Structure 1
Amino acid sequence: MNSDDVLLRHARDADARAAADVWLRSCAAALPTVRCAHDEANVRDWFARVLVPQYETWVAVTGNSVVGLLVLNGGELKQLYLEPEWRGGLGDRFMSLAKQQQSDGLSLWTFQVNGPAQRFYQRHGFVEVERTDGQRNDEREPDIRYVWQPQT
């Protein structure tokens, strides 16, 4: 899969279900041991009512298919999920976009069990600043907060 053939654009209301489905498939593949705190219907509703209309949501589209998503809330990277077969260069493109959109810096959370995500964020200059026992997230899963600051 060539990520150069994928269009990154702002999500539209009509993209909400497809983006939610990417999120669900990606979570299932990358985080099989993490309890999903919400059922599929609630996740789709959350994408349609909250993420797409209220946040800066981007999708990666090839043909008529959404294959990835990025959600920013100011300086916080809220979501970065890809169809499992699209991992690779597409994540790098989304990260470049996120840094371009928030050039003053970014922060994010990832689960402690998600080693590939930690390596990805560290490779992109993020530094670990906090670990928690997970009591503040819906999944009750220990997590890590990362921060990226541009080089001055």
Structure 2
Amino acid sequence: MNSDDLEIRRADDSDATATADVWLRSFTAALPTVRRAHDDDAVRSWFTHVVVPQYETWVAVAGEAGVVGLLVLDDGDLEQLYLDPSWRGRGLGDRFMELAKRQRPEGLQLWTFQVNAPAQRFYERHGFVAEERTDGLRNEEREPDIRYAWRP
């Protein structure tokens, strides 16, 4: 199945666990050196009780594969953009980025870890500019990070 065969839609409560599982698989694959601040059950609870009900959460659903990607927006912040590892490099991230920019035409900002060079290249390709670098003391992972902004 390619990215043209998927549905991107707002998440509902029934998507929370599958969305958390995509986040967990993606984080593990993309950030193997970053210490996770919460265990799997805590991440699933966070998606169930906080992320899906309280934030603008979008999912990509690929037939029987189920949820294969997620985008979470909060005001002008792109809070989360994670893809199932098997869906990286297939255009899904580009589709989520187009959606995020349509939803927030006034601009967006986000944080990514400094060790995540592929994410930095992705965001820069989509017009984001690095505006701040930190030592990581303000995030739960204690991992140096970068704040990016897109201003149309």
Scaled to the shorter chain, the TM-score interval is over 0.9
More displaced 10-residue stretch of structure 1: 1-10 or 105-114: 1-10
Q: Deviations over 1:98-141 (max 9, x none)?
A: 00000000000000000000000000000000000000000000
Q: Secondary structure at the match of 1:58?
A: strand
Q: How far off is 1:97 after superposition? A: 0.1
SS in 1 for 2:97: helix
Distance 1:87 1:3 in 2: 10
Who is 1:36 aligned against? 36
Residue 26 of structure 2 is aligned to residue 26 of structure 1 = yes
Q: Secondary structure at the match of 2:136?
A: coil
Q: CA deviation at 1:26?
A: 0.2
Amino acid at match of 2:97: M
Picking from 112, 126, 131, the partner of 1:129 is 131
Counterparts of 2:135 and 2:6, CA distance in 1: 37
Instruction: Indicate the larger mover: 56-65 or 18-27.
Output: 56-65
Task: Kindly indicate whether residue 53 of structure 2 is the aligned counterpart of residue 61 of structure 1.
Answer: no
Give unmatched runs, 5+ long, in structure 1. none
Which one-letter code corresponds to 2:103 in the other structure?
A: Q
Q: What is the match of residue 8 of structure 2?
A: 8
User: Displaced runs of 4+ in structure 1, greater than 4 A?
Assistant: none
Aligned to 1:141: 143
State yes or no: 1:79 paired with 2:80.
Answer: yes
Q: Give the secondary structure class of the aligned counterpart of 1:52.
A: helix
Name the aligned partner's letter for residue 143 of structure 2.
E
CA–CA distance in structure 1, aligned partners of residues 6 and 144 of structure 2 = 33
Identity of aligned residues (%): 73
TM-score for the superposition, normalised by structure 1: 0.97
The code of the aligned residue for 1:26 comes to S
| Residue ranges of structure 2 left out of the alignment (5+ in a row) | none
After TM superposition, give the deviation of residue 85 of structure 1 in Å.
1.0
The aligned residue for residue 113 of structure 1 is 115
- C-alpha RMSD of the superposition: 0.6
Q: Could you tell me how far apart the structure 2 residues matched to 1:33 and 1:27 are?
A: 10
Cα separation, 2, equivalents of 1:135 and 1:123? 27
Count of aligned pairs? 150
